[in-house]
Structure 1
Amino acid sequence: MKDLFDIRDRLALVTGSTRGLGNALARGLAERGAHVILHGRRQEAADEAARILAAETGAQVDAVAFDVTDAEAVKATTAALIERLGVPDILVNNAGLQKRAPFNDFDPADWDAVLATNLSSAFYVSRALSPAMSERGSGKIVNVGSVQSKLARETIVPYAASKGGVALLTQGMAADLARYGIQVNCLSPGYFQTDMNQALWQDADFNAWIEKRTPAQRWGQVEELVGTLVYLCSGASDFVSGQNVFVDGGMTSVV
Protein backbone atom coordinates (compact mmCIF):
# COMPACT_ATOMS: atom_id res chain seq x y z
CA MET A 1 0.00 0.00 0.00
CA LYS A 2 2.84 2.40 0.78
CA ASP A 3 4.04 2.26 -2.83
CA LEU A 4 0.65 3.54 -4.03
CA PHE A 5 1.42 6.94 -2.52
CA ASP A 6 5.05 7.08 -3.61
CA ILE A 7 5.85 10.24 -5.60
CA ARG A 8 9.63 10.11 -5.22
CA ASP A 9 11.55 11.50 -8.20
CA ARG A 10 8.38 12.58 -10.01
CA LEU A 11 8.74 15.94 -11.74
CA ALA A 12 6.11 18.38 -10.47
CA LEU A 13 5.35 21.90 -11.71
CA VAL A 14 3.33 24.01 -9.27
CA THR A 15 2.17 27.37 -10.62
CA GLY A 16 2.03 30.37 -8.31
CA SER A 17 4.33 28.67 -5.83
CA THR A 18 6.86 31.25 -4.67
CA ARG A 19 4.77 31.93 -1.55
CA GLY A 20 1.48 31.23 0.17
CA LEU A 21 -0.67 28.21 -0.55
CA GLY A 22 1.24 27.25 -3.69
CA ASN A 23 4.54 27.23 -1.82
CA ALA A 24 3.04 25.04 0.90
CA LEU A 25 1.74 22.59 -1.70
CA ALA A 26 5.12 22.51 -3.45
CA ARG A 27 6.84 21.97 -0.11
CA GLY A 28 4.56 19.04 0.63
CA LEU A 29 5.52 17.38 -2.66
CA ALA A 30 9.21 18.13 -2.15
CA GLU A 31 9.20 16.65 1.35
CA ARG A 32 7.89 13.42 -0.13
CA GLY A 33 10.68 13.18 -2.65
CA ALA A 34 9.28 14.87 -5.74
CA HIS A 35 11.50 17.00 -7.97
CA VAL A 36 9.62 20.29 -7.73
CA ILE A 37 9.59 23.20 -10.15
CA LEU A 38 8.52 26.43 -8.46
CA HIS A 39 6.84 29.06 -10.60
CA GLY A 40 6.30 32.79 -10.32
CA ARG A 41 6.06 35.88 -12.47
CA ARG A 42 9.58 37.04 -11.62
CA GLN A 43 12.60 34.81 -12.08
CA GLU A 44 14.44 36.32 -9.13
CA ALA A 45 11.61 35.53 -6.73
CA ALA A 46 11.23 32.01 -8.11
CA ASP A 47 14.97 31.36 -7.85
CA GLU A 48 15.07 32.56 -4.25
CA ALA A 49 12.05 30.49 -3.25
CA ALA A 50 13.66 27.46 -4.91
CA ARG A 51 16.92 28.04 -3.07
CA ILE A 52 15.12 28.17 0.28
CA LEU A 53 12.94 25.13 -0.41
CA ALA A 54 15.92 23.03 -1.54
CA ALA A 55 17.94 24.02 1.52
CA GLU A 56 15.11 23.25 3.92
CA THR A 57 13.94 19.97 2.40
CA GLY A 58 17.00 18.55 0.68
CA ALA A 59 14.85 18.00 -2.40
CA GLN A 60 15.73 18.76 -6.00
CA VAL A 61 14.07 22.09 -6.77
CA ASP A 62 14.12 24.18 -9.94
CA ALA A 63 12.46 27.47 -10.80
CA VAL A 64 10.71 28.96 -13.80
CA ALA A 65 9.05 32.32 -14.47
CA PHE A 66 6.29 33.22 -16.92
CA ASP A 67 2.95 35.02 -17.01
CA VAL A 68 0.25 32.36 -16.71
CA THR A 69 -2.28 34.68 -18.36
CA ASP A 70 -0.20 34.98 -21.56
CA ALA A 71 -0.91 31.92 -23.71
CA GLU A 72 2.09 32.46 -25.97
CA ALA A 73 4.48 32.96 -23.05
CA VAL A 74 3.12 29.80 -21.43
CA LYS A 75 3.63 27.81 -24.63
CA ALA A 76 7.19 29.04 -25.20
CA THR A 77 8.36 28.70 -21.60
CA THR A 78 6.89 25.25 -21.01
CA ALA A 79 8.45 24.02 -24.25
CA ALA A 80 11.84 25.23 -23.00
CA LEU A 81 11.13 23.63 -19.62
CA ILE A 82 10.42 20.26 -21.21
CA GLU A 83 13.62 20.54 -23.23
CA ARG A 84 15.61 21.28 -20.06
CA LEU A 85 14.04 18.99 -17.45
CA GLY A 86 11.66 16.65 -19.26
CA VAL A 87 7.89 16.30 -19.27
CA PRO A 88 6.38 16.92 -15.83
CA ASP A 89 4.66 13.95 -14.23
CA ILE A 90 2.56 16.31 -12.12
CA LEU A 91 1.03 19.71 -12.82
CA VAL A 92 -0.64 21.68 -10.05
CA ASN A 93 -2.54 24.69 -11.42
CA ASN A 94 -2.51 26.87 -8.32
CA ALA A 95 -1.89 30.43 -9.59
CA GLY A 96 -4.69 32.64 -8.29
CA LEU A 97 -5.92 36.18 -7.79
CA GLN A 98 -8.60 37.71 -5.61
CA LYS A 99 -10.34 41.08 -6.02
CA ARG A 100 -13.17 42.22 -3.76
CA ALA A 101 -15.94 44.72 -4.45
CA PRO A 102 -19.75 44.80 -4.45
CA PHE A 103 -21.12 43.42 -7.71
CA ASN A 104 -22.52 46.77 -8.88
CA ASP A 105 -19.13 48.42 -8.35
CA PHE A 106 -16.89 45.72 -9.79
CA ASP A 107 -14.42 47.04 -12.36
CA PRO A 108 -14.60 45.04 -15.62
CA ALA A 109 -10.80 45.10 -15.80
CA ASP A 110 -10.65 43.37 -12.42
CA TRP A 111 -13.17 40.79 -13.64
CA ASP A 112 -10.92 40.06 -16.63
CA ALA A 113 -7.83 39.79 -14.42
CA VAL A 114 -9.42 37.35 -11.98
CA LEU A 115 -10.85 35.11 -14.73
CA ALA A 116 -7.55 35.15 -16.63
CA THR A 117 -5.45 34.25 -13.60
CA ASN A 118 -7.74 31.72 -11.94
CA LEU A 119 -9.37 29.99 -14.90
CA SER A 120 -7.73 30.72 -18.26
CA SER A 121 -4.26 30.05 -16.86
CA ALA A 122 -5.22 26.50 -15.89
CA PHE A 123 -6.32 25.92 -19.48
CA TYR A 124 -3.19 27.52 -20.96
CA VAL A 125 -0.67 25.62 -18.83
CA SER A 126 -2.52 22.30 -19.04
CA ARG A 127 -2.91 22.65 -22.81
CA ALA A 128 0.81 23.36 -23.14
CA LEU A 129 1.83 20.23 -21.22
CA SER A 130 -0.91 17.69 -21.92
CA PRO A 131 0.20 16.73 -25.47
CA ALA A 132 3.57 15.54 -24.16
CA MET A 133 1.89 13.81 -21.22
CA SER A 134 -0.49 12.15 -23.68
CA GLU A 135 2.36 10.95 -25.86
CA ARG A 136 4.05 9.45 -22.80
CA GLY A 137 0.76 7.92 -21.63
CA SER A 138 0.68 9.27 -18.09
CA GLY A 139 0.23 12.43 -16.06
CA LYS A 140 -1.45 13.95 -13.02
CA ILE A 141 -3.09 17.37 -13.27
CA VAL A 142 -4.53 18.95 -10.14
CA ASN A 143 -6.49 22.18 -10.56
CA VAL A 144 -6.88 24.18 -7.37
CA GLY A 145 -10.50 25.14 -6.81
CA SER A 146 -12.19 26.46 -3.69
CA VAL A 147 -15.33 26.17 -1.62
CA GLN A 148 -16.36 28.96 -4.01
CA SER A 149 -16.43 26.29 -6.71
CA LYS A 150 -19.73 25.39 -5.04
CA LEU A 151 -20.73 28.28 -2.76
CA ALA A 152 -20.92 32.04 -3.35
CA ARG A 153 -20.33 35.00 -1.07
CA GLU A 154 -20.87 38.72 -1.48
CA THR A 155 -18.13 40.91 -2.98
CA ILE A 156 -16.26 38.08 -4.76
CA VAL A 157 -18.43 37.30 -7.79
CA PRO A 158 -15.51 36.97 -10.27
CA TYR A 159 -13.61 34.69 -7.91
CA ALA A 160 -16.64 32.42 -7.44
CA ALA A 161 -17.28 32.38 -11.19
CA SER A 162 -13.65 31.50 -11.88
CA LYS A 163 -13.52 28.71 -9.31
CA GLY A 164 -16.84 27.31 -10.51
CA GLY A 165 -15.27 27.31 -13.95
CA VAL A 166 -12.21 25.47 -12.63
CA ALA A 167 -14.44 22.66 -11.36
CA LEU A 168 -16.13 22.24 -14.76
CA LEU A 169 -12.84 22.68 -16.59
CA THR A 170 -11.57 19.76 -14.53
CA GLN A 171 -14.46 17.56 -15.62
CA GLY A 172 -14.06 18.55 -19.25
CA MET A 173 -10.33 17.87 -19.21
CA ALA A 174 -10.94 14.49 -17.59
CA ALA A 175 -13.40 13.58 -20.33
CA ASP A 176 -10.78 14.28 -23.01
CA LEU A 177 -7.56 13.20 -21.30
CA ALA A 178 -8.35 10.08 -19.23
CA ARG A 179 -7.95 7.91 -22.33
CA TYR A 180 -4.29 8.99 -22.47
CA GLY A 181 -3.53 7.92 -18.91
CA ILE A 182 -3.85 11.45 -17.53
CA GLN A 183 -5.90 11.94 -14.39
CA VAL A 184 -7.33 15.44 -13.87
CA ASN A 185 -8.86 16.36 -10.54
CA CYS A 186 -9.73 19.46 -8.55
CA LEU A 187 -8.48 20.16 -5.03
CA SER A 188 -10.85 22.65 -3.37
CA PRO A 189 -9.74 24.16 -0.06
CA GLY A 190 -12.09 25.74 2.43
CA TYR A 191 -10.94 28.72 4.45
CA PHE A 192 -7.21 28.45 5.08
CA GLN A 193 -4.89 30.95 6.67
CA THR A 194 -2.97 32.12 3.60
CA ASP A 195 -1.45 35.37 2.36
CA MET A 196 -4.36 35.92 -0.02
CA ASN A 197 -6.97 36.08 2.74
CA GLN A 198 -4.86 37.52 5.57
CA ALA A 199 -7.26 40.43 6.00
CA LEU A 200 -10.08 37.95 6.63
CA TRP A 201 -8.44 35.75 9.24
CA GLN A 202 -7.20 38.81 11.10
CA ASP A 203 -10.75 40.22 11.23
CA ALA A 204 -12.35 39.22 14.54
CA ASP A 205 -15.92 39.22 13.23
CA PHE A 206 -15.08 37.19 10.13
CA ASN A 207 -12.98 34.80 12.19
CA ALA A 208 -15.97 34.20 14.48
CA TRP A 209 -18.20 33.58 11.45
CA ILE A 210 -15.76 31.00 10.05
CA GLU A 211 -15.60 29.15 13.35
CA LYS A 212 -19.40 29.06 13.52
CA ARG A 213 -19.96 28.21 9.83
CA THR A 214 -17.38 25.40 9.63
CA PRO A 215 -18.26 22.11 11.37
CA ALA A 216 -14.60 21.73 12.38
CA GLN A 217 -14.97 25.17 14.06
CA ARG A 218 -11.62 26.49 12.86
CA TRP A 219 -9.58 27.64 9.89
CA GLY A 220 -7.59 25.09 7.94
CA GLN A 221 -3.81 25.02 8.01
CA VAL A 222 -2.13 24.72 4.62
CA GLU A 223 -0.26 21.57 5.68
CA GLU A 224 -3.65 19.84 5.90
CA LEU A 225 -4.01 20.00 2.12
CA VAL A 226 -0.85 18.05 1.43
CA GLY A 227 -2.20 14.55 2.10
CA THR A 228 -5.01 14.97 -0.40
CA LEU A 229 -2.63 16.51 -2.94
CA VAL A 230 -0.20 13.60 -2.61
CA TYR A 231 -3.07 11.16 -3.11
CA LEU A 232 -4.17 12.96 -6.28
CA CYS A 233 -0.58 13.01 -7.57
CA SER A 234 0.20 9.37 -6.81
CA GLY A 235 -0.64 5.95 -8.17
CA ALA A 236 -3.35 5.63 -5.53
CA SER A 237 -5.60 7.82 -7.71
CA ASP A 238 -4.94 6.16 -11.07
CA PHE A 239 -8.66 5.44 -11.59
CA VAL A 240 -9.86 8.77 -10.17
CA SER A 241 -10.52 11.57 -12.64
CA GLY A 242 -12.84 14.55 -12.97
CA GLN A 243 -13.44 14.78 -9.23
CA ASN A 244 -13.66 17.87 -7.06
CA VAL A 245 -12.28 17.03 -3.62
CA PHE A 246 -13.24 19.52 -0.92
CA VAL A 247 -10.85 19.91 2.02
CA ASP A 248 -12.95 22.35 4.01
CA GLY A 249 -13.64 21.09 7.52
CA GLY A 250 -17.14 20.13 6.39
CA MET A 251 -18.24 23.61 5.25
CA THR A 252 -19.79 22.54 1.92
CA SER A 253 -21.68 19.69 3.59
CA VAL A 254 -23.90 21.85 5.80
CA VAL A 255 -26.25 24.85 5.57
Structure 2
Amino acid sequence: MILSGKCAIVTGASRPIGKAIAKKFVEEGAIVYLISRDADRIALIAQELDPNDEGKAIAMPCDITSKTSIEEVFEHIAAADLVVDILVNATDLAIEKPLEKLELEDWTRNIKTNLTGAFLLSQKCFEGMKEAGAGKIINVASLISDKVKPGIAAYVAAKGGLVMLSRSIAVEWGKFNIQANTIVNADIDLPMSKEKALERDILNPSEKKSLAEDIADVALFLASEKSNDITGKEIPVDEGFLTSLIKE
Protein backbone atom coordinates (compact mmCIF):
# COMPACT_ATOMS: atom_id res chain seq x y z
CA MET A 1 0.00 0.00 0.00
CA ILE A 2 1.69 3.16 -1.22
CA LEU A 3 0.25 5.50 1.43
CA SER A 4 0.83 3.25 4.42
CA GLY A 5 1.54 5.29 7.55
CA LYS A 6 0.49 8.58 5.95
CA CYS A 7 -2.07 11.01 7.34
CA ALA A 8 -4.28 12.89 4.90
CA ILE A 9 -6.92 15.60 5.00
CA VAL A 10 -9.52 15.58 2.23
CA THR A 11 -11.92 18.51 2.04
CA GLY A 12 -15.18 18.32 0.14
CA ALA A 13 -15.39 14.73 1.36
CA SER A 14 -19.19 14.73 1.32
CA ARG A 15 -19.17 15.14 -2.48
CA PRO A 16 -18.35 12.49 -5.11
CA ILE A 17 -14.80 13.63 -5.92
CA GLY A 18 -13.73 14.13 -2.32
CA LYS A 19 -15.30 10.84 -1.29
CA ALA A 20 -13.59 8.95 -4.12
CA ILE A 21 -10.21 10.40 -3.20
CA ALA A 22 -10.70 9.57 0.48
CA LYS A 23 -11.73 6.02 -0.42
CA LYS A 24 -8.67 5.53 -2.60
CA PHE A 25 -6.37 6.85 0.12
CA VAL A 26 -7.89 4.59 2.78
CA GLU A 27 -7.52 1.59 0.48
CA GLU A 28 -3.84 2.47 0.07
CA GLY A 29 -3.16 2.59 3.80
CA ALA A 30 -3.59 6.24 4.78
CA ILE A 31 -5.43 7.60 7.79
CA VAL A 32 -7.87 10.06 6.26
CA TYR A 33 -9.67 12.96 7.88
CA LEU A 34 -12.89 13.68 6.01
CA ILE A 35 -13.64 17.40 6.06
CA SER A 36 -17.02 18.94 5.27
CA ARG A 37 -19.69 21.15 6.79
CA ASP A 38 -22.15 18.29 6.28
CA ALA A 39 -21.54 16.41 9.53
CA ASP A 40 -24.19 13.75 8.96
CA ARG A 41 -23.04 12.97 5.44
CA ILE A 42 -19.34 12.58 6.25
CA ALA A 43 -20.19 10.46 9.30
CA LEU A 44 -21.96 8.02 7.00
CA ILE A 45 -19.09 8.10 4.51
CA ALA A 46 -16.52 7.46 7.26
CA GLN A 47 -18.55 4.46 8.38
CA GLU A 48 -18.70 3.21 4.79
CA LEU A 49 -14.95 3.60 4.25
CA ASP A 50 -14.00 2.22 7.68
CA PRO A 51 -16.80 -0.23 8.61
CA ASN A 52 -14.81 -1.80 11.46
CA ASP A 53 -14.06 1.60 13.01
CA GLU A 54 -10.29 1.10 12.89
CA GLY A 55 -9.49 4.80 12.74
CA LYS A 56 -8.79 4.77 9.01
CA ALA A 57 -11.47 7.31 8.08
CA ILE A 58 -12.35 10.03 10.58
CA ALA A 59 -15.25 12.40 10.01
CA MET A 60 -14.38 15.95 11.06
CA PRO A 61 -17.10 18.57 10.51
CA CYS A 62 -15.34 21.81 9.67
CA ASP A 63 -15.96 25.22 8.15
CA ILE A 64 -12.77 25.65 6.13
CA THR A 65 -13.31 29.40 5.90
CA SER A 66 -12.92 29.66 9.68
CA LYS A 67 -9.48 29.59 11.30
CA THR A 68 -11.08 28.54 14.58
CA SER A 69 -12.80 25.57 12.97
CA ILE A 70 -9.57 24.54 11.26
CA GLU A 71 -7.68 24.81 14.56
CA GLU A 72 -10.11 22.31 16.09
CA VAL A 73 -9.36 19.80 13.34
CA PHE A 74 -5.61 20.11 13.86
CA GLU A 75 -5.96 19.82 17.62
CA HIS A 76 -7.71 16.50 17.05
CA ILE A 77 -4.95 15.36 14.69
CA ALA A 78 -2.22 16.40 17.15
CA ALA A 79 -4.01 14.58 19.97
CA ALA A 80 -3.77 11.42 17.87
CA ASP A 81 -0.01 12.06 17.60
CA LEU A 82 -0.27 12.53 13.84
CA VAL A 83 1.06 15.08 11.36
CA VAL A 84 -0.63 15.82 8.07
CA ASP A 85 1.42 14.41 5.19
CA ILE A 86 -1.14 14.98 2.44
CA LEU A 87 -3.68 17.76 1.96
CA VAL A 88 -6.35 17.55 -0.72
CA ASN A 89 -8.45 20.66 -1.26
CA ALA A 90 -11.46 19.30 -3.14
CA THR A 91 -14.17 21.65 -1.92
CA ASP A 92 -16.33 22.91 -4.77
CA LEU A 93 -18.99 25.64 -4.72
CA ALA A 94 -20.40 27.36 -7.81
CA ILE A 95 -23.11 30.02 -7.70
CA GLU A 96 -24.61 30.62 -11.14
CA LYS A 97 -25.46 34.28 -11.73
CA PRO A 98 -24.66 36.84 -14.44
CA LEU A 99 -21.71 39.01 -13.42
CA GLU A 100 -23.82 42.18 -13.24
CA LYS A 101 -26.23 40.48 -10.81
CA LEU A 102 -23.61 38.87 -8.62
CA GLU A 103 -23.93 40.09 -5.04
CA LEU A 104 -20.87 40.76 -2.90
CA GLU A 105 -22.09 38.02 -0.57
CA ASP A 106 -22.09 35.53 -3.48
CA TRP A 107 -18.61 36.61 -4.56
CA THR A 108 -17.19 36.42 -1.04
CA ARG A 109 -18.74 33.02 -0.37
CA ASN A 110 -17.26 31.58 -3.58
CA ILE A 111 -13.78 32.99 -2.97
CA LYS A 112 -13.70 31.97 0.70
CA THR A 113 -14.98 28.44 0.06
CA ASN A 114 -13.01 27.60 -3.08
CA LEU A 115 -9.78 29.53 -2.44
CA THR A 116 -9.37 30.99 1.05
CA GLY A 117 -10.08 27.65 2.71
CA ALA A 118 -7.34 26.00 0.66
CA PHE A 119 -4.92 28.78 1.64
CA LEU A 120 -5.73 28.49 5.34
CA LEU A 121 -5.38 24.70 5.36
CA SER A 122 -2.16 24.78 3.36
CA GLN A 123 -0.68 27.34 5.73
CA LYS A 124 -1.73 25.25 8.73
CA CYS A 125 -0.10 22.13 7.25
CA PHE A 126 3.18 23.90 6.52
CA GLU A 127 5.03 23.56 9.84
CA GLY A 128 4.28 19.85 10.17
CA MET A 129 5.31 19.14 6.61
CA LYS A 130 8.45 21.23 6.98
CA GLU A 131 9.49 19.39 10.14
CA ALA A 132 8.73 16.04 8.52
CA GLY A 133 10.83 16.99 5.51
CA ALA A 134 8.08 16.19 3.03
CA GLY A 135 4.52 17.05 2.11
CA LYS A 136 1.95 16.81 -0.67
CA ILE A 137 -0.70 19.43 -1.40
CA ILE A 138 -3.25 18.65 -4.10
CA ASN A 139 -5.80 21.21 -5.21
CA VAL A 140 -8.80 20.26 -7.33
CA ALA A 141 -9.70 23.03 -9.76
CA SER A 142 -11.74 23.14 -12.96
CA LEU A 143 -11.27 23.56 -16.69
CA ILE A 144 -12.82 27.00 -16.29
CA SER A 145 -9.93 28.10 -14.11
CA ASP A 146 -8.42 28.77 -17.54
CA LYS A 147 -11.43 28.79 -19.91
CA VAL A 148 -14.24 31.15 -18.91
CA LYS A 149 -17.83 29.96 -18.68
CA PRO A 150 -20.38 32.81 -18.53
CA GLY A 151 -22.45 33.16 -15.40
CA ILE A 152 -20.02 31.89 -12.78
CA ALA A 153 -17.43 34.67 -12.56
CA ALA A 154 -16.68 34.22 -8.85
CA TYR A 155 -16.13 30.50 -9.33
CA VAL A 156 -13.82 31.11 -12.30
CA ALA A 157 -11.82 33.64 -10.29
CA ALA A 158 -11.55 31.33 -7.29
CA LYS A 159 -10.47 28.27 -9.25
CA GLY A 160 -8.00 30.33 -11.26
CA GLY A 161 -6.58 31.55 -7.98
CA LEU A 162 -6.36 27.97 -6.75
CA VAL A 163 -4.11 27.07 -9.68
CA MET A 164 -1.81 29.98 -8.85
CA LEU A 165 -1.85 29.05 -5.16
CA SER A 166 -0.51 25.61 -6.10
CA ARG A 167 2.24 27.19 -8.16
CA SER A 168 3.14 29.60 -5.35
CA ILE A 169 3.36 26.77 -2.83
CA ALA A 170 5.53 24.79 -5.24
CA VAL A 171 7.94 27.71 -5.64
CA GLU A 172 8.08 28.89 -2.02
CA TRP A 173 7.94 25.55 -0.20
CA GLY A 174 9.79 23.36 -2.67
CA LYS A 175 12.99 23.78 -0.66
CA PHE A 176 11.24 21.92 2.16
CA ASN A 177 10.38 19.00 -0.15
CA ILE A 178 6.72 20.01 -0.31
CA GLN A 179 5.08 19.42 -3.67
CA ALA A 180 1.88 21.15 -4.77
CA ASN A 181 -0.12 20.36 -7.89
CA THR A 182 -3.57 20.99 -9.31
CA ILE A 183 -5.96 18.44 -10.77
CA VAL A 184 -8.04 20.16 -13.43
CA ASN A 185 -11.48 18.60 -13.37
CA ALA A 186 -13.81 18.69 -16.39
CA ASP A 187 -17.11 18.74 -14.53
CA ILE A 188 -18.88 21.50 -12.61
CA ASP A 189 -21.79 20.62 -10.37
CA LEU A 190 -24.37 22.88 -12.01
CA PRO A 191 -27.83 22.23 -13.47
CA MET A 192 -27.49 21.63 -17.21
CA SER A 193 -30.14 22.00 -19.90
CA LYS A 194 -30.55 19.37 -22.62
CA GLU A 195 -29.03 21.80 -25.12
CA LYS A 196 -25.99 22.43 -22.93
CA ALA A 197 -25.61 18.71 -22.25
CA LEU A 198 -25.70 17.96 -25.99
CA GLU A 199 -23.10 20.65 -26.66
CA ARG A 200 -20.89 19.21 -23.92
CA ASP A 201 -21.17 15.74 -25.49
CA ILE A 202 -20.21 17.13 -28.91
CA LEU A 203 -17.16 18.90 -27.49
CA ASN A 204 -16.01 15.85 -25.55
CA PRO A 205 -14.28 13.25 -27.76
CA SER A 206 -14.56 10.58 -25.06
CA GLU A 207 -17.67 8.44 -24.73
CA LYS A 208 -18.04 9.03 -20.99
CA LYS A 209 -17.92 11.92 -18.56
CA SER A 210 -15.05 12.30 -16.13
CA LEU A 211 -15.50 9.95 -13.21
CA ALA A 212 -14.61 10.77 -9.63
CA GLU A 213 -12.61 7.54 -9.56
CA ASP A 214 -10.40 8.78 -12.41
CA ILE A 215 -9.62 11.93 -10.45
CA ALA A 216 -8.96 9.82 -7.36
CA ASP A 217 -6.39 7.76 -9.27
CA VAL A 218 -4.53 10.93 -10.26
CA ALA A 219 -4.74 12.22 -6.69
CA LEU A 220 -3.27 8.96 -5.42
CA PHE A 221 -0.32 9.30 -7.79
CA LEU A 222 0.27 12.91 -6.72
CA ALA A 223 0.03 11.92 -3.05
CA SER A 224 2.60 9.15 -3.44
CA GLU A 225 6.38 9.25 -3.60
CA LYS A 226 6.11 8.37 -7.30
CA SER A 227 5.38 12.05 -7.99
CA ASN A 228 8.23 13.58 -5.98
CA ASP A 229 9.65 15.31 -9.05
CA ILE A 230 6.31 16.78 -10.13
CA THR A 231 5.30 20.11 -8.62
CA GLY A 232 3.59 23.33 -9.66
CA LYS A 233 1.74 21.54 -12.45
CA GLU A 234 -1.85 21.29 -13.65
CA ILE A 235 -2.97 17.79 -14.57
CA PRO A 236 -6.19 17.76 -16.60
CA VAL A 237 -8.68 14.94 -16.13
CA ASP A 238 -10.98 16.02 -18.93
CA GLU A 239 -11.16 13.08 -21.37
CA GLY A 240 -9.76 15.24 -24.12
CA PHE A 241 -12.25 18.07 -23.66
CA LEU A 242 -9.69 20.83 -24.17
CA THR A 243 -8.41 19.23 -27.37
CA SER A 244 -11.82 19.44 -29.04
CA LEU A 245 -13.21 22.94 -28.59
CA ILE A 246 -14.52 23.30 -32.15
CA LYS A 247 -17.81 21.63 -32.93
CA GLU A 248 -18.20 19.71 -36.17
TM-score > 0.5, shorter chain as reference: yes
Aligned residue among 123, 132, 136 for 2:132? 136
Identity across aligned pairs (percent)?
A: 27
Aligned residue among 171, 174, 191 for 1:175? 171
The residue type equivalent to 1:220 in the other structure is S
**Closer, same or farther: CA 58–218 of 1 in aligned 2, 3 Å:** farther
More helix by share: 1
Determine the C-alpha separation between the residues in 2 that align with 1:124 and 1:224.
27
Deviation at 1:67, TM superposition (A): 0.7
Aligned runs of 1:1-255 on 2, under 5 Å? 6-55=2-51, 60-191=56-187, 196-197=189-190, 199-200=191-192, 203-255=193-245
Higher mean displacement: 207-216 or 36-45 = 36-45
Determine the C-alpha separation between the residues in 1 that align with 2:234 and 2:176.
20
The residue type equivalent to 2:117 in the other structure is S
Higher mean displacement: 141-150 or 77-86 = 77-86
- Aligned partners of 2:47 and 2:53 also within 8 Å: no
The normalised TM-score by structure 2 is 0.91
Q: Report the 3-state secondary structure (helix = DSSP H, G, I; strand = E; otherwise coil) of the residue aligned with 1:55.
A: coil
Determine the C-alpha separation between the residues in 2 that align with 1:31 and 1:213.
34
**Closer, same or farther: CA 135–91 of 1 in aligned 2, 3 Å:** same
The residue type equivalent to 2:131 in the other structure is E
User: Structure 1: which 5+ residue stretches go unaligned?
Assistant: none
Determine the C-alpha separation between the residues in 2 that align with 1:241 and 1:82.
27
Deviation at 1:146, TM superposition (A): 0.9
Corresponding pairs, count: 245
Deviation at 1:217, TM superposition (A): 4.5
Q: Report the 3-state secondary structure (helix = DSSP H, G, I; strand = E; otherwise coil) of the residue aligned with 1:178.
A: helix
Determine the C-alpha separation between the residues in 2 that align with 1:61 and 1:138.
22
Higher mean displacement: 237-246 or 25-34 = 25-34
The residue type equivalent to 2:129 in the other structure is M
The normalised TM-score by structure 1 is 0.89
**Closer, same or farther: CA 57–252 of 1 in aligned 2, 3 Å:** farther
Deviation at 1:11, TM superposition (A): 1.4
